[in-house]
Amino acid sequence: MRRLVGYCRLEGNAAASALSRLYAASRLFVNFFQPSFKLASKTRSGAQVRKRYHAPQTPCARLLASDAVSEQVKIRLREVAETLDPLRLLDEIRTVQHHLAALADGARPHMPPRQDEDLARFLSGLATAWRAGEVRPTHIEKPKRTHDWRTRDDPFESIWPTVCEWLAARPDQTGRQIFDRLQSEHPGLYPDCQLRTLQRRLKNWRTQAARKLVFGVYDEALGAGSRSGSIRREASGNLSS
């Protein structure tokens, strides 16, 4: 339901009326035009579970194929299905979602009219709707916080000046070659799981070396890598204290 309505707070008679209208349109669209899978069997073999599903069908199609449903109910379902248009239902859902998003932003509570006119406007937008990404007006993407700090101490912080000298002498060395050299000169100090950490540091070093070659500018903070992370942690600790 949150995928349909969103996570914004809605209150008042205007929002209740809009939700009622949205639920009515979405109920018809889901039950008559949105197929879904139903589990047919589930078998377990040790820790592996295998599931098999029936062919996807709409809830209405399952009721029409069921022997437990009376013929009068099936006739009523067919009559309702003949009066429905999936495009009009989608247009109704999107219109009310726009209205709910406006109410959540503090707009005046006026209910939009029902779209009984020609659907040329809605159809023309379907071909290019995918370009805008998420088409639900009630969807709000949560901003992601950029991770620019280290959570662990850098194991290469003390040896990094020596690594930079090796790179200056032979810039074409790979991360594996430098890591093998570190392991041979400092046995037992650098386990194999730290290879990826060294490769990330080498990537930053090569990025800064290319920047200096092209623009003549070298960012000491980025070149230092883990040292900048240590500085950030110390600064945040001082601020918090």
Give, for all 241 residues of the chain, the pLDDT tens digit: 888 888 888 888 888 888 999 999 999 999 999 999 999 999 999 999 999 999 999 999 999 999 999 999 999 999 999 999 888 888 888 888 888 888 888 777 666 666 555 566 666 666 666 565 666 667 666 667 776 676 778 888 889 999 999 988 888 889 999 999 999 999 988 999 999 999 999 998 888 888 888 876 655 544 554 444 443 444 444 434 4
What's the number of CA atoms in the CB half-sphere (13 Å) around residue 70?
A: 3
Place of tokens 């139903």: 38
pTM over 0.85: no
- What distance in Å separates the CA atoms of residue 62 and residue 75, rounded to the nearest whole number? 14
Q: pLDDT tens digits for 127-168? A: 666 565 666 667 666 667 776 676 778 888 889 999 999 988
Residue 63 structure tokens: 């009721």
pLDDT for the residue numbered 102: 84
Domain ranges across the chain? 2-41+49-111+124-132, 160-240
- What distance in Å separates the CA atoms of residue 88 and residue 114, rounded to the nearest whole number? 10
pLDDT for the residue numbered 110: 67
Q: pLDDT tens digits for 13-37? A: 888 888 999 999 999 999 999 999 9
Which contiguous run of DSSP H or E holds residue 121? helix 120-126
